[in-house]
Structure 1
Amino acid sequence: MDAKSAVRGVNSVVLKLTRAPVVGPLMRKGFVEISYTGRRSGKTFSTPVNYRRSGDSILIGVALPDRKKWWRNFTGEGGPITLHLPGGDRTGHAVAERSGSTVTVRVRLDGGR
């Protein structure tokens, strides 16, 4: 099994767990599915990420950023993102920041709820 297949498998399991009736609420406290449009392809992608929320601010830490590409869609001025949060989908603007080997994606959610 190559690395891409392994990542797809893990992501699939995480998404299923976040939707499960018993463990889902616990999983959703730390994981959220994001959706975004690729800058080059124009295709819509979705992936689960670990996050922390404070009001309308979301912080996503990117583990092993050199092995992942999704966060690169948010470099520079950043771009639009949708987070499938408990209580409903929220849109926002995401900006990726790299500091050495660490990458974080900061999201400012649109509107207040």
Structure 2
Amino acid sequence: MGYRGPLPKTAIARYNTCVVALRTSPRWGPLVRRRLTQITYTGRRSGRTFSTPVGYRRDGEVVTIGVMMPDAKSWWRNFTGDGGPITLDLDDTGRTGHAVARRDERGRVTVTVRLDGEA
């Protein structure tokens, strides 16, 4: 059996750094950016700005982010209730929108982002 506890923050930070590097690489970036974006948001309690890479699906001006292992992550909690503002790296630019997180009866969390205006 392997380690089952939460990943150390340094491991997560290294993983996120690698994902961001892949997104910006000339060779792999166009492929990686089809399914991975970087979100930027302001923490509700801390007021600090955070950025993290996430997987996404896009349908026009609506972006859906499925949160894998939601109980091990906290970023999505900034978008519960009425939700809040978010920025996503899409279309080679920062796109702003309004994100709302919902947990279903099976415990899965989905964050739905409605993008503001045109790029």
TM-score for the superposition, normalised by structure 1: 0.95
Gap runs ≥5 in structure 1? none
SS of equivalent to 1:89: strand
Instruction: Map Cα deviations across residues 55-112 of structure 1 (whole Å, 9 max, x no partner).
Output: 0000000001000000000000000000011331110000000013200000000013
Aligned mate of 1:83, from 85, 88, 101: 88
In 1: Cα distance, 2:30 partner to 2:38 partner: 14
TM-score for the superposition, normalised by structure 2: 0.90
Q: Which amino acid aligns with 1:88?
A: T
Task: State the match for 1:74 in structure 2.
Answer: 79
The answer to whether the 8 Å contact 1:79/1:95 transfers is yes
Number of equivalences: 112
Aligned mate of 1:105, from 107, 111, 114: 111
In 1: Cα distance, 2:8 partner to 2:107 partner: 20
Cα RMSD between the aligned structures?
1.0
Q: Offset of 1:10 from its aligned partner? A: 0.9
The answer to whether the 8 Å contact 1:28/1:86 transfers is no
Q: Which amino acid aligns with 1:3?
A: P
Task: State the match for 1:49 in structure 2.
Answer: 54
Answering whether residue 40 of structure 2 is matched by residue 40 of structure 1, we say: no
In 1: Cα distance, 2:8 partner to 2:69 partner: 12
- Tell me the percent identity: 57
| 4+ residue runs over 4 A deviation | none
Answering whether residue 117 of structure 2 is matched by residue 95 of structure 1, we say: no
Q: Offset of 1:33 from its aligned partner? A: 0.4
SS of equivalent to 1:39: coil
Task: State the match for 2:9 in structure 1.
Answer: 4
Q: Offset of 1:41 from its aligned partner? A: 0.3
Gap runs ≥5 in structure 2? 1-6
Please identify the structure whose Cα radius of gyration is greater. Answer: 2
